């Protein structure tokens, strides 16, 4: 459904997208995942035909976007990061206007708008002024806009950004439902979004594709990465003891709710055997007169895998800068 080959885009001196290649097959729901500034919106705008590429080629439903832009665009429903909505229009008026711009024939327009309203689950908002809608509903109007004419491919740029938890849940459910009949490529900088809605992820950072695979495959890119220890006694002493164990790359202590209890999160060195480190830590702590009431492996969360892949400490942090080379 989407074929991208060696796609690059520069804005003057800024290389926003660098030699990105991937494909999305019919029926897939794929997450385009990366920190802010990774190049997600730029890539999606190019796919949707709103921005020219500097290099590379893109085919949508078999049509090259540079050679057959109208055919390619006809297959796509695109929801930009911020939809330009008109506050003074009623939802149904806005969608009618959008259907006209998208050249839905006059006779078919009413039915197309009705279907999009139904698909986005906002039929009850049809006559409300857009300016009076909550952010969640405005987002769904953007989604309804993308759904106009029932395109087989949906490209959604951060569809749940800025929504509250209830709205996020609703929109994710909607995307899952839409994904049963259509191909979806959605961008996000939030991992749970991908886990909640997608079958596969493309991870992008610094304009480059850094990983690709099923959610399980991406998770499996990191083995057990640490240990979680529950200790009783002086937390600072426990920390010093744990840090001295072979195979421990780092550790930090958090004081527990109860007096005298603390948890220590241990990061393992790349070559460390988690069992040996756990045994060594428990032996040393108990030997020093400290109590150990909990030992658990900490398998890498998708968050950790993500920050390791993208080099971002925080998914919402500053744009990723590539180091040297």
Ligand X SMILES: Nc1ncnc2c1ncn2[C@@H]1O[C@H](COP(=O)(O)OP(=O)(O)O)[C@@H](O)[C@H]1O
Token readout for 41 is 């919106």
Which of residues 11 and 86 has its CB atom nearest to ligand X in the complex? Answer: 11
Name the binder of 38 from ligand X, Mg ion, none, CB < 5-8 A by kind: ligand X
- For the chain, helix, strand, coil in percent to 5 are 35, 30, 35
Does 50 interact with ligand X (rule: CB under 6 A)?
A: no
Stretch that binds ligand X, among 32-40, 221-229, 288-296, 307-315 (CB under 6 A): 32-40
What is the x/- site pattern for Mg ion, positions 11-50, by CB under 5 A? -----------------------------xx---------
Rounded Cα gap, residues 280 and 66, in angstroms? 61
> Could you say which of ligand X, Mg ion, none residue 197 binds, taking C-beta under 5 to 8 angstroms by partner kind?
none
Q: How many CB atoms lie within 10 A of CB 180?
A: 9
Q: Does 36 bind ligand X (CB under 6 A)?
A: yes
Contact stretch for ligand X (CB under 6 A) within 18-26, 31-39, 95-103, 283-291: 31-39
Complete edge-to-edge strand list for the sheet that includes strand 291-299: 248-255, 261-268, 224-232, 291-299
Tell the residue number behind the tokens 């986005």, with chain if given: 120
Integer CA distances (angstroms), 246 to 253, 288, 300, in order: 18, 17, 20
Of 201, 146, 213, 134, residue with least CA distance to 175: 146
Q: How far is CA 254 from the centre of its chain?
A: 29
155's tokens: 């490209």
Q: Look up residue 164 and give its two tokens.
A: 């509250």
d(CA 44, CA 102): 19
* 47, two tokens: 């796919």
Quote the least distance from Cβ 14 to ligand X, whole Å.
5
Site residue total, ligand X (CB under 6 A): 12
CB of 156 to Mg ion, least distance (A): 11
Question: Which residues ranging from 155 to 184 are in contact with Mg ion (CB under 5 A)?
Answer: none
Residue of minimal Cβ distance to Mg ion: 41
The Cα–Cα gap between 183 and 146 comes to 13
Eight-state DSSP code of residue 259: T
Interaction with Mg ion in 224-283: which residues (CB under 5 A)?
none
Q: Does 34 bind ligand X (CB under 6 A)?
A: yes
252 HSE (CA, 13 A, CB side): 1
Q: Is 206 in the site for ligand X (CB under 6 A)?
A: no
Q: How far apart are CA 321 and CA 31, in angstroms?
A: 22
The only residue of 2, 22, 30, 42 in contact with ligand X, by rule CB under 6 A: 42
Q: Any contact of residue 83 with Mg ion (CB under 5 A)?
A: no
Beta carbon of residue 185, minimum distance to ligand X (angstroms, whole number)? 13
Residues 4-23, mask of contacts with ligand X (x by CB under 6 A): -------x--x-x-------
Q: Which is nearer to ligand X, 2 or 235 (CB)?
A: 2
Interface positions, 304-323, toward ligand X (CB under 6 A): 319
- In the complex, the residues that contact Mg ion under the rule CB under 5 A are 40-41
Site for ligand X, rule CB under 6 A: 11, 14, 16, 34, 36-42, 319
């Amino acid at each position: 459904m989407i074929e991208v080959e060696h796609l690059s885009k520069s804005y003057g001196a800024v290389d926003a997208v660098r030699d990105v290649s991937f494909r999305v097959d019919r029926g897939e729901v794929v997450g385009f995942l990366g920190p802010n500034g990774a190049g997600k919106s730029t890539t999606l705008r190019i796919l949707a035909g709103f921005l020219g590429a500097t290099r590379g080629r893109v085919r949508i439903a078999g049509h090259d976007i540079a050679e057959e832009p109208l055919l390619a665009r006809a297959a796509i429903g695109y929801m930009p990061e911020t939809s330009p909505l008109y506050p003074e229009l009623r939802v149904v008026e806005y969608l009618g206007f959008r259907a006209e711009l998208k050249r839905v024939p006059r006779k078919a327009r009413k039915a197309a708008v009705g279907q999009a309203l139904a698909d986005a689950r906002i039929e009850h908002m049809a006559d409300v002024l857009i300016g009076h809608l909550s952010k969640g509903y405005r987002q769904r109007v953007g989604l309804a806009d993308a759904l106009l004419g029932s395109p087989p491919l949906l490209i959604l740029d951060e569809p749940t950004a800025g929504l509250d938890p209830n709205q996020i849940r609703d929109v994710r459910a909607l995307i899952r439902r839409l994904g049963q009949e259509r191909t979806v490529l959605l961008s996000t900088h939030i991992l749970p979004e991908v886990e909640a809605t997608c079958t596969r992820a493309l991870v992008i950072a610094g304009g480059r594709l850094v990983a690709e695979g099923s959610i399980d495959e991406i998770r499996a890119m990191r083995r057990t990465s640490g240990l979680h220890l529950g200790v009783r006694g002086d937390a600072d002493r426990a920390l010093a003891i744990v840090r001295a164990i072979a195979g421990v790359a780092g550790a930090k202590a958090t004081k527990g709710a109860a007096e005298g209890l603390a948890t220590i999160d241990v990061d393992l060195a790349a070559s460390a055997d988690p069992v040996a480190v756990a045994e060594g830590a428990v032996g040393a702590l108990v030997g020093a007169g400290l109590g150990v009431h909990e030992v658990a492996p900490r398998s890498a969360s998708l968050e950790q895998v993500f920050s390791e892949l993208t080099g971002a400490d925080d998914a919402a942090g500053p744009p990723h800068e590539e180091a040297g080379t």
